[in-house]
Copies of this chain bind each other. A is one copy, B any other.
Amino acid sequence: MMRIAVAQINAVLGDIEFNKNKILEYIEKARQRKVDLVVFPESSLLGYHPFDLLERDDLVETLEKTMCEIQKHIPSDLAVIYGTLTRNKSKKGRPYFNSAILLQKSKKPQVFNKQLLPTGDVFDEARFIEHGDLSKNVFKLKGKKFFLTICEDIWAWDYKKGSSSYIENPLKKIKEKNVDLVVNLSASPWFPGKEKMRHHVAQETAKHFKAPILYANLVGAQDEIIFDGASFVLSPQGKKMMQCQAFEEDLNIFDLDTNEAWAKPSHLSEIEKLHKALVLGIRDFCKKTGLTKVHLGLSGGIDSAVVACLAVDALGPHFVKSFALPGPYSTEKSLELAGQLAKNLKIEMFTSSINKPFETISKQIETEMEIKEFGLVHENLQSRLRGLFLMSYANHKNSLLLTTGNKSEYATGYSTLYGDMCGGLAPIGDLTKKQVYELAAYYNSTAKIIPQAIIDRPPTAELRPNQKDQDTLPPYEDLDKAVVNIVEKSKKPSNETEKWLIARLVATEFKRWQAAPILKASSHSFGRGRRWPLAHKAFKKN
């Protein structure tokens, strides 16, 4: 009997004391359930993704001290593996390793380092982390042989048509025989389809070693990135032998001798996953920045409606305030629908008209700048006045303004910089318009939370008379597909909408440079994982 627990915890980046206590709490849970080994995710003592916090030495110093404190509390018959950073003691190379520590009572801690360092999309590990050497990552425990990997270490298997982002797969060079279990500590961001990719690489790894693999993934959100947990054990034949919950903390046990597992069944539909991901994203952003309140503008449209629903699920109605900010081109209907939604969600709604400020300032600007016709200046002015009201409230109440743009809007730059782009977090900034409607339908599938008219009416910014999004943008159905093909898959443009989109992307990149953090919910989101330059002439002749 060799009982191994996965402790899927939600670590807070940089709160080493909190994470240590969380680790000790889960060690105690594991002890009570008579576990031989408990495995925590990658970087669970520091939290992940630290980005450039690693400029400062203090963090890793504290991590190293904390190891001793954890060891003091370990029961005599329980081994612990957790992820952390350790110092590269050589003067050569980058300053740290991304490590796993094997801790046992009264034994010297063993350190294993990550070899493959991801640098694509949101990852930046080759800035401060040095490569480890996987051939050193073998250890024995109670007569069993383990091979330890960290996240990216198992991702160099061939993917489509024999391709891989790595010249060599370091695992293929490991000739170690008779491994009983491969362990992988991960901090793997979620997006739709990610589970399948993990299953693929985990199974390839298990096959190679002819041993099961235990995949321990972090849960929780960090800025734009949402870690879903969903840790598992897989047989070399690809059978899931154990599965943890997604988007919440969990502890489950697997017996390496009997293949028995103790885990609650877990099955979520795709839309449930998306919903849980975004709720977790908002909740953890607030918790980990220390903010307790959020607010947003309700336009009577679908985007702000869905963001309001998500915010209420994340924080509860008492901590979500809403604003209706009617202007000269707002319809009565919009105001009424916003009010109805706020009522359904039991959130407070303030109403404040931008008419008078708009009149004052537009007159002044028209005169002083000799603007004779209604145009872009007036449209942006309305949007920026709304931003100004919402930011005044943010300053007054120390409340986080949620910005409500979706990915199709972001992609086309159909948004006003310093206007509706104001805010500290963009919860649906990585969702196509279609996904926003799907989430709305999901919300309405149990109770009628979102007034049907919000779903049915054509999208409009209401910044000029009878304006519709579709006056300026391609039909959302086409636009959404173009966004997926061009932004997420980097395909060659295959129709006019896609060609148009590339030109728009180039022309509006300056807006996204200054955008709020966007919760990542696709393989490639706007935000830190996508770094386009501004001053260039590429793709201008598409």
Cβ-based interface call for A164 (8 A) = yes
Asked if B514 and A515 make an inter-chain contact with CB atoms under 8 angstroms apart, the answer reads: yes
Complexed CA–CA distance, A407 and B362 (Å): 34
When C-beta atoms are compared, the residue in chain B nearest to A129 turns out to be: B119
Among B166, B352, B537, the residue within 8 A (CB) of A288 is: B537
When C-beta atoms are compared, the residue in chain B nearest to A55 turns out to be: B490
Cβ-based interface call for A223 (8 A) = yes
Cβ-based interface call for A285 (8 A) = yes
Given contacts A357-B360, A536-B13, contact A94 B58 (CB under 8 A): no
Asked if B533 and A222 make an inter-chain contact with CB atoms under 8 angstroms apart, the answer reads: yes
Asked if A119 and B124 make an inter-chain contact with CB atoms under 8 angstroms apart, the answer reads: yes
Question: Which of A236-244, A381-389, A439-447 forms part of the interface with chain B?
Answer: A381-389
0/1 string, A57-80, CB within 8 A of B gives 1: 111000000000000000000000
Complexed CA–CA distance, A156 and B376 (Å): 52
Contacts of A55 in B (CB 8 A): 490, 530
Instruction: With both chains docked as a complex, state the minimum distance between the C-beta of A403 and any C-beta of chain B, in angstroms.
Output: 10
Cβ-based interface call for A91 (8 A) = yes
Cβ-based interface call for A9 (8 A) = no
0/1 string, A351-371, CB within 8 A of B gives 1: 010001100110011001101
Complexed CA–CA distance, A386 and B162 (Å): 57
Cβ-based interface call for A344 (8 A) = no
Contacts of A142 in B (CB 8 A): none
Cβ-based interface call for A1 (8 A) = no
When C-beta atoms are compared, the residue in chain B nearest to A130 turns out to be: B167
Contacts of A368 in B (CB 8 A): 350, 352
Given contacts A57-B492, A288-B535, contact A392 B388 (CB under 8 A): no
Cβ-based interface call for A380 (8 A) = yes
Asked if A364 and B391 make an inter-chain contact with CB atoms under 8 angstroms apart, the answer reads: no
Complexed CA–CA distance, A388 and B369 (Å): 13
0/1 string, A474-509, CB within 8 A of B gives 1: 000000000000000010100000000000000000
Contacts of A287 in B (CB 8 A): 535
Instruction: Give A85-113 interface residues, CB cut-off 8 Å to B.
Output: 90-94
Instruction: Give A525-542 interface residues, CB cut-off 8 Å to B.
Output: 528, 530-540
Cβ-based interface call for A53 (8 A) = yes
Contacts of A57 in B (CB 8 A): 490, 492
Cβ-based interface call for A50 (8 A) = yes
Cβ-based interface call for A18 (8 A) = yes
Instruction: With both chains docked as a complex, state the minimum distance between the C-beta of A257 and any C-beta of chain B, in angstroms.
Output: 38
Instruction: With both chains docked as a complex, state the minimum distance between the C-beta of A358 and any C-beta of chain B, in angstroms.
Output: 10
Given contacts A365-B389, A537-B12, contact A396 B384 (CB under 8 A): no
Given contacts A14-B538, A58-B492, A517-B534, contact A391 B418 (CB under 8 A): yes
Instruction: Give A132-165 interface residues, CB cut-off 8 Å to B.
Output: 161-165
Cβ-based interface call for A377 (8 A) = yes
Q: Name which of A285, A289, A381 has the most chain B CB atoms within 10 A of its CB.
A: A289
Contacts of A49 in B (CB 8 A): 533
Q: What are 18 A-B contacts defined by CB distance under 8 Å?
A: A13-B533, A13-B538, A14-B538, A56-B539, A58-B539, A91-B161, A91-B163, A92-B168, A288-B536, A288-B537, A290-B537, A369-B392, A377-B392, A385-B388, A418-B422, A424-B510, A514-B515, A528-B531
- Rank and list the top 4 A-B pairs by shortest CB-CB distance, nearest first: A14-B538, A288-B535, A15-B537, A13-B536
